[in-house]
Chains A and B, each alone.
Chain A
Amino acid sequence: MYKDKIVLVTGASRGVGLEITKHFLKHGATVIGLSRVESLFNHNHYYHFSVNIGDPESIVNCFKKEIGKHFKRIDIVINNAAVMTSQYSMIMPKKNAIDMVNVNLLGVFFVSREAAKLMRNKEPGRIINIGSMAVSLEPVGDSIYAACKAGINTLANIMAKEFSSYKVTCNTLSISAIDTDMLHQHSDIGQEKIKEIIKKIPIPRNALIDDILNVIDFFASDRSSYITAQTIYLGGIN
C-alpha cells in the first residue's frame, strides 16, 4: 500500500508514533522517525534521527543536513510528537507551558514547513497532524495543551491553502484517549477525570490503535487528493 513512499513520523520512539511507524513499514514504506532519544526500534527501512521538536534549530538542521541530503523527498508527514502537562492554569509551571507551545504547536509548524519544501514534486503529499479531543471538550487543566492542539488544526487549514498547488493535503486526526505513556503520566485523579470524560462521549471507550490507523490510511491515500483542511475526531466527538 505504501511501497516507494517516504514517510516522516515525529515522536516515533514510543506510543502512537511507534505504532504508526510499524504500520507504514509493514505496508512497504520507508520511514524516517524523529524523537529526542535514540530509538531501540530496528527495521531495514527505518531511519531514526534524534531531534528536539521543541527547538526550531534542531529541526531545521536535521532537514538540511540529514533528511534533505539522504532522502531528497518526503511523501507523508505525521506530526505526532507532543508533550502534555495537565494542571490548573494558575499553578501550571512556566517551563511546562512553554514546552507545550514549543513542541505541540511551533514544532508542528517547523516540521511541516521544512517537509513541505521536500514535497514540491509531482507526487501527492500528505501532512497529517495528530490532534486531540481536548480541543472540542476543553477539559479543566488542559488550557495550553488544548490551545496548542486547536492551533495545529488551524495550521493544517491554512497550510492546506498554501500547499495545494503542490498537491499536498493537510489534515488533522484528533484522537480521544489511548493507552500510552502520555495517558499513564496522569495522576490517579487525572486518570479518573479522563475516564469520566470518555464515559460521556458518543462511543464511550478509549481509542484503539486501529481506529487511528484507519483514519491515517484514509488521509494518506492517493485517493484522498480532494480531502484537505479537515479535522476528524474519533469516538463521535465533534
Chain B
Amino acid sequence: MERYIGRDLARPDGPAKVEGRAVYVADLDVPGAWVGGVVRSTVARGLLLGLDFDPGFDWRTVAVATAADVPGENVVALIADDQPLLVAREIEHWGEPLALVAAPDELQLARALAAVRPRIEARAACFDLERSPRVFKSIRVAQGDAGAVFRDVPPGARVVEGTYRTDSQEQLYVETQGFVAFPPASDGSVTVRGSLQCPHYVQKALARALGIAPEEARVVQLATGGGFGGKEDYPSVLACHAALLARVARRPVRLILGRHEDLAVTPKRHPARVRVRAAFAADGTGLALEADVLFDGGAYTTLSPVVLSRGVLHASGPYRWPAAEIRGSVVATNHVPYGAFRGFGAPQTCLAIERLMDRAARELGIHPFELRLRNALRPGDTTVTGQRLEHSVGSLEVLEAIARRTGFDRHAWGAPHAESGPRRRGLGFSFFFHGAGFTGSGEELLRGRVSLALLPDGRVEVLAGSTEIGQGTQALFTAIAAEALGADAADVVLATPDTARVPDSGPTVASRTCMVVGGVLAAAAAELRQRVGDGAASWRERARAFLAGGGDGAVTRAYAPPPGARWDEHSYRGDAYPVYGWAADVAEVFVDEDTGEVDVARLWTAVDVGRALQPRLVTGQIEGGALQAVGWAHREVVSARDGRCEQDRLATCIVPTTLDAPRFDVTLVEVPYPGGPFGAKGVGELPMDGGAPAVLSAIEDATGIHPAQVPATPERILDLLVARAEEAHA
C-alpha cells in the first residue's frame, strides 16, 4: 500500500512562499554589494570600433569590464563556442553586451552606463529566416520512400498540403533573471547565487570564462520565480557577467535585469515556418508524410541544434506514417538568439501537423476526430524513426477520454453555422505526444546522478542538482524518496542545489526531472532501504542502528538507460525518446467576426502521465502549460523591428490574465511506464504542444477560415475573413 504516491503532499517550499519568506535573488541581503549593469549594442549587426569613456565622469567611482578583462575564454560555453561573453569586435544582434559596469548604487550606475559611448559601424543585417546565409544545423529523418508516393500518387489517394508559421513567444517568468556574484576567494574559487534552472550549466560556463576548474566555480540556486526554459541557458551569460564584475570590482555584485532589459535581450521561442504535405488513402489512412521545418535561431547557436532536433522528431505528430521524409534546418539571423521555452521546438511542428490533419479531414470528408483515431500510433506501432512503441502508449486512452468528456467525436466540426450576429462559437481539437527526457542517447551520455546521505539523526538527505522552479520538484522528490525508503516524508530532507554539494543530475529541462532524475532517486532510495533493512521499528530508529553498527549511509546512483534502447545520431533512426506522453485537447472559442477577437472559454485536456505521483502538482503543470499554449495561440505577440524586440515592457508584452484564461477541465489518464518511478513519465512540456492547434481548429469551426499562423491575432483573423468574403463575392 503506497503512502505518498498518488496523494498530495504539502509542498516543502509552500509555507515560505505564502508567507513572503522565500528568498529570491533580489531578496538576498549582501552587505557591501555593488550593482551591475550592461552596456549594449544599439544595432543588430556591426563592428565595435571602440568604447569611449566620457572624461567628465569620475571612473574611479565605478568598476568597468570589457572583452579584454575576461580572464579565461571569451565565450558562453554551451553547444558551440560561437557566442562571446562581451563583444570584442563583431556585433551580431541588438542588445549584445559590449561592456559591463558596477557601481555603489543605482544612480551612479545609470550615470556611468550613460557615460560609456561605444563607437559602432553598422553593417547590413539579416532578419528573414528564408534568406539566411548560414545554417547552424540540418537534420533529416526518413522512413520508406515518401518521394515515390508523392510522385506517383496511388489511385483514390489524396494529397493535402499546407504551410504554417509560428511567431516567437516570451517565457515571461514573473521574476526577472538575476545573479549575485562574489569576488574570487584567496584560492581563486568563485561563488554565484541566482535564479536558474541548471546549476551545472552555469558552473561549466563560469569555469571556461574565468579560466578556472569547474570545482572552483560554485553555483547556488535561490528561490526561482519561474523559468519555463527561459532560465536554461541565459543564466550562464548573466552569471559570467556578474562574476567578471565581482572580480574587477573586488566586491560582491548584484546583476539583476530590469523587466525592459529582460524582455529585450533574453532568448525566446524560435520562430518557425513548417511546410507539410501528406498523402491519405480514400478511407483516411495516412500513406506518406513530407515536412520541411525551418527555424530562426537568431545570432548564435545557443541551444538551437537540440531545439531543432525535437521539432523535427515531433513533426510527424502521434501518427503512423509508412513513409516519411522530414527535413529541418535552423538558420542564423541577426535576431537576439532564440532559446529554450517549454515544448522546445515541438509546439511549432505540432501546430503544423495538427492544422494539416484538420485540413485533410475537411478535404477527405472525414470527421477530424475519426481521422486522428484511424492514424493514431498504437502499442506495437513504429514511429517515423523506426522506434517500436512498447510501453505506456496511452494514445487510444486519451482519445477515448476526451471524447467521453466533450462529445467532440459527435460535434459537426466545420459545418456552416446557423447563428446570426457576429459572435460565433466553435470547438476545436488536437491530438499530440511529447518525448520525455533527452533526445536519443542524451540521457545515456549525461548519466545524471543523485546521492543520498544518512544523517546522524536517521533522516535522509537527498542531494540532486534538479531545481525547484515552481513545478514541484521538492514535493515530488520528497514523495518519491519517502515511498521508496519506506520512511515518513518528515524523514526526508532536500539539499539546496549547490554545485559544491550536489552531484550533476543533469539540467532541469526536457520533462526529465520527475521521470529521469526521480527514477534515479527511487533506485538510490531502494538501495539505501535494502542496506538499512526493513523491520518493525521506525525508519529513523533503524537508520540510527544501522549507522551505529558502522553501516555506510552514502549512496550515489546514476541513470541507466532502459535495456535494449538504441539510437543512431547519424541516421536519426532508433529510439528517439525513452517514452512519450500522450494528450488530446478540445478548445471552445467565441470569435467576433466584426473585430476578429477570440475568447477561449474552455479547454478540456486528457493527458496520459504514466502515473500521477502528485495529482495536484501534475494538474498544476497541465493547466499552467495549457494557458501558455492558449496565450500563444491568439494573444501573445512577440515581434522585432530591425532586430529589436518591440514588446519590451509588460504594457505591450501581453500574457493572459484571470479574465482571459479559459476554464480548464483536466482528465488524468494513467498508463504506467515501467521505466519511470512508480510508473510516472515526463509531463512538463506536453501541455504546451496542443493548445494552439486546438484553438486554431476551434476558430476554423467557428468561422470557416483556416488560420495558418500563430498567434491568430484579430488582425490576422480579419484578413482571412475579408479574403473569405471576397472569395464568396467573386
Query: Do chains A and B interact in one complex?
Result: no
